[in-house]
Amino acid sequence: MDKILVRGGRPLSGDIVIGGAKNASLPLMTAGMLTDARLTLTNVPRLADIATMSALISQHGVAVEVRGGTVGGNDGRTLSIGGAISNTEAPYDIVRKMRASILVLGPLLARVGEARVSLPGGCAIGTRPIDLHLKGLEQMGAEIALDGGYVNAKAPRGLHGATIVLPFASVGATENILMAATLADGQTVLANAAREPEIGDLVACLIAMGARIEGAGTDRLTIEGVKRLHAATHEIVADRIETATFACAAAIAGGSVRLLGGRLEHLGAVVSTLAQAGVEITQDGDALAVRRLNGLHGVDAMTEPYPGFPTDAQAQFMAVMAVAEGASMLTENIFENRFMHVPELTRMGANINVHGSSAIVRGVLRLSGAQVMATDLRASVSLILAGLAAQGETTVNRVYHLDRGYEAVERKLAAVGADIERVAG
């Protein structure tokens, strides 16, 4: 298994290209199953999760062609998706590797009226139920039974529109219901819908495919079903979590970087939170300029649905707070177990105490390099960030977690001055 070595103490300076968003790419790929015409996606990041989703969609019989692009370059990579569905089962051995596999459920039901999708099971950060996905689809006429660890869903008479109120603004439930509604008979109103920029990107792509959707960017989506969707080409939105990650890298290492493709309005509360911590982020043309002004100050933060502070940036921000002056209380409101990076940061000398869903971080003068273990995608990258500020060498093991969601992160950081390398294990 590969590992990443980081030797701390070097400030960052230069430009970093932000890739297409992982969490937009995955639902956009399953949107390609809504039509046998071809959906062309550009600016697709080169990630393990994209390869897993390509394999999943292909085994449903839908062709996924890969074209062009270079790793870490800003030309991204182009996928072309489309074709008839010949298999409606999403098997456990693929779904267990990537929870976003559940996003084939809505398209399968909408397109062919049946689906047998393995329950994703939990993951490191929580039980991750899908009850809101299933309840919404049932309101649209799907008959759903669970057996043998699988969701068996049928809509023999097709799906019909419904008024659905989500008790929680679930990103995945919003995406599954939205995609199903584009081909349902009649109008669907989805209230308390998630408003993450990835949802807006999915709405824009579906409209380009001929869907009739109103309310993009708001928590109320109104969808008029149509008979079929047609071919389209869509450029995937820049990854706001990758953007937040590299902003935290500049914060913890010091210096200033320009994040090419980053969008201020997609960072939500990250901007104000980092500003309070002593890091300035400004839009500079089609890039974001990130600069640590003086020292870092402890700031409290609570993770919330967009535009609140994103849960996917909580681990990265905690690494920054570990070396800030003063204390910080970080509260994780979205997932029930998203503090696996705490014991590893503590091994590097961080002073962190977890009380339920809150972690009290007391800044220390300096972290020390150590052997640490990646446990999930965002925890992995928070350890690399900590290594940028640590004295000595940090070895991050099990970086396959990292490869699920970050393209060439060590190369991007090395290009702006970090002393970092990947070692094949």
CA distance 103 to 202: 12
Shortest spacing between CB 98 and ligand EPZ, in angstroms:
8
Check 37, 51, 94, 123 and give the catalytic one.
Answer: 123
Task: Determine how β-strand 63-67 pairs with β-strand 390-391.
Answer: unpaired
In order of 15, 27, 199, 283, 307, the CA distances from 260 in angstroms are 7, 24, 22, 10, 21
Shortest spacing between CB 359 and ligand EPZ, in angstroms:
17
Return the number of the residue (201 or 410) whose C-beta is nearest ligand EPZ. Answer: 201
Restricting to residues 241-260, name those near ligand EPZ by CB under 6 A: none
Is residue 205 part of the contact set for ligand EPZ (CB under 6 A)? no
Stretch that binds ligand EPZ, among 128-136, 138-146, 204-212, 278-286 (CB under 6 A): 128-136
Residue 40 in tokens: 């062309």
Is residue 287 part of the contact set for ligand EPZ (CB under 6 A)? no
| Residue from 16, 18, 26, 244 binding ligand EPZ (CB under 6 A) | 26
CA distance 357 to 249: 24
Residues with Cβ within 8 Å of 373's Cβ and at least 6 positions away in sequence, in order, are 344, 396, 397, 398
Residues with Cβ within 8 Å of 147's Cβ and at least 6 positions away in sequence, in order, are none
- DSSP-H helix ranges across 157-264: 171-181, 197-208, 240-253
Tokens 């640490």: give the residue: 372
Stretch that binds ligand EPZ, among 105-113, 169-177, 213-221, 256-264 (CB under 6 A): 169-177
Is residue 129 part of the contact set for ligand EPZ (CB under 6 A)? yes
CA distance 416 to 419: 9
Q: Is the peptide bond before 307 cis (omega within 30 degrees of 0)?
A: yes
Is residue 295 part of the contact set for ligand EPZ (CB under 6 A)? no
Shortest spacing between CB 366 and ligand EPZ, in angstroms:
28
Residue type at position 407 = E
Shortest spacing between CB 131 and ligand EPZ, in angstroms:
5
CA distance 265 to 160: 35
| Residue from 4, 19, 23, 271 binding ligand EPZ (CB under 6 A) | 23
Closest alpha carbon to 169 in 207, 213, 122, 217 = 217
- What's the burial of 355, exposed, middle or buried (CB within 10 Å: 0-12/13-18/19+)? exposed
Task: Tell me the site size for ligand EPZ, rule CB under 6 A.
Answer: 23
Is residue 405 part of the contact set for ligand EPZ (CB under 6 A)? yes
CA distance 323 to 403: 26
Is residue 132 part of the contact set for ligand EPZ (CB under 6 A)? yes
Instruction: Give 390's DSSP letter.
Output: E
Is residue 136 part of the contact set for ligand EPZ (CB under 6 A)? no
CA distance 169 to 175: 11
Query: Is 248 a catalytic site residue?
Result: no
Shortest spacing between CB 256 and ligand EPZ, in angstroms:
26
Return the number of the residue (130 or 229) whose C-beta is nearest ligand EPZ. Answer: 130
Is residue 312 part of the contact set for ligand EPZ (CB under 6 A)? yes
Is residue 377 part of the contact set for ligand EPZ (CB under 6 A)? yes
Contact string 51-90 vs ligand EPZ (x = CB under 6 A): ----------------------------------------
Phi-psi region of 370 (alpha: psi -120 to 50; beta: other; left: phi over 0): beta
Stretch that binds ligand EPZ, among 106-114, 164-172, 185-193, 259-267 (CB under 6 A): 164-172
* Residue of minimal Cβ distance to ligand EPZ: 172
Stretch that binds ligand EPZ, among 19-27, 79-87, 177-185, 395-403 (CB under 6 A): 19-27
Is residue 334 part of the contact set for ligand EPZ (CB under 6 A)? yes
| Residue from 31, 53, 79, 130 binding ligand EPZ (CB under 6 A) | 130
Stretch that binds ligand EPZ, among 129-137, 262-270, 275-283, 407-415 (CB under 6 A): 129-137
Contact predicate 262/37, CB 8 Å: no
Catalytic residues: 123
Footprint of ligand EPZ (CB under 6 A): 22-23, 26, 100, 126, 128-133, 168, 170-173, 311-312, 334-335, 377-378, 405
